[in-house]
Amino acid sequence: MPSLIIGLASASLIVLNTLIGIAPMLILALLKALLPVPALRRRCGTGVRWIARCWALANRRILHALTGTEWDIRGREHILPQRSTLIICNHQSWVDIPALMELMLEKAPFFTFFLKRELFWVPLLGLAWWALDYPFMRRYSRAELERRPQLRGKDLEITRIACDKLQDRKVTLINYVEGTRFTQRKHDQQQSPFSHLLKPRAGGVAFVLSAMHQQIDTVLDVTIVYADGSVPSFWHLLSGQIGRVVMEVRAIPVPEALREGDYQQDESFRAAFQDWINSLWQHKDQRITALRQQAQV
């Protein structure tokens, strides 16, 4: 079947699935915001997540049925279904999101992404992410912080508020540590020391571990590699033009000294945490090289 037909069929079914689920999800989200009884708010939140899980499962079945993409998952045994988990992952494409859904759905507690604020305006999906209490982050440039120093730490404050909302349930938190998708232009502008990655932003990870150190049982490092070496678009996925996606999962022990600390105020803690994250990123960079070489054999 031509890729155009596959893409149009996949996109149409996913849009239909989204339209079916979005209205009841938003109704429950509004009730959760308005109801004065905490137990009823929790039930509404559970209902929102149930609808989102059904939506994600239906989308996965659509992609399986129409696209033929092979999901090569390695290390899945590290995923524990009843444990709250923090996932750190490299980020190249919108396809990374359905890739992580493929990895985690029905294997772990429902996932929460840290999203860029601009994604709130994505039609339908932005409202769905709001209903799911996904934190919308804003990254401030150095020049903007110099003009408005009161904005320093604002992104971490948003992280703290988001973590407070997650304290009463098992969760899978997904953090794209680079803060944005990899492109060669961004890589060159940063003068990144890594071959396949942007510089990691350690602050968000540090704050999550500090705010939820008693709840996060597991930290997983997920490396995503597209086997042909290119960075696919979401249309490539919808239209069946992605042959194989490799995902490697590695369980990461977090040193006790790094589970609690003041990343903003304690310079020695901040330096130690950044060294730890950079060491993880160095390992990930080497694994991406190795996985790409294996895929070409």
Residues 93 and 178 in one domain: yes
pLDDT, mean over the chain: 86
148 phi and psi angles, rounded to 5 deg: -130, 75
Residues 255 and 232 in one domain: yes
Q: Where are the alpha helices (DSSP H) in the chain?
A: 3-34, 38-66, 96-104, 125-131, 142-147, 154-165, 184-190, 202-211, 234-238, 267-296
Predicted TM-score (pTM) of this structure: 0.85
Q: Which of 5-19, 33-47, 127-141, 204-218 bottoms out in mean pLDDT, i.e. has the lowest?
A: 127-141
15, 43, 66 - which closes a domain:
66
123: three-class secondary structure by DSSP: coil
Q: Is residue 292 part of a domain?
A: yes
Residues 97 and 40 in one domain: no
Q: Is residue 141 part of a domain?
A: no
Instruction: Give burial (CB, 10 Å; 0-12/13-18/19+) of 191.
Output: exposed
Q: Please state the rounded mean pLDDT for residues 8-14.
A: 96
Q: Is residue 105 part of a domain?
A: yes
Q: Is residue 57 part of a domain?
A: yes
Range of the domain at 33: 1-66
User: What is the Cα–Cα distance from 129 to 288, expressed in whole angstroms?
Assistant: 30
Residues 189 and 282 in one domain: yes
Q: Is residue 165 part of a domain?
A: no
Residues 193 and 248 in one domain: yes
Task: State which amino acid sits at residue 182.
Answer: F
Residues 213 and 73 in one domain: yes
Residues 42 and 80 in one domain: no
- Work out how many domains the chain is built from and give that number: 2
User: What is the Cα–Cα distance from 214 to 216, expressed in whole angstroms?
Assistant: 6
Q: Is residue 139 part of a domain?
A: no
**Each residue of 29-48: pLDDT tens digit?**
889 888 889 889 889 988 99
Residues 280 and 200 in one domain: yes
Residues 219 and 74 in one domain: yes
Q: Is residue 131 part of a domain?
A: no
Q: Is residue 163 part of a domain?
A: no
Residues 61 and 184 in one domain: no
pLDDT over 80 at 148, yes or no: no
pLDDT over 60 at 100, yes or no: yes
For strands 244-252 and 218-226, give the pairing. antiparallel
Q: At what angle do helices 3-34 and 38-66 cross, to 10 degrees?
A: 180
Q: What is the pLDDT of residue 297?
A: 43
Q: Are 155 and 140 in contact (CB under 8 A)?
A: yes
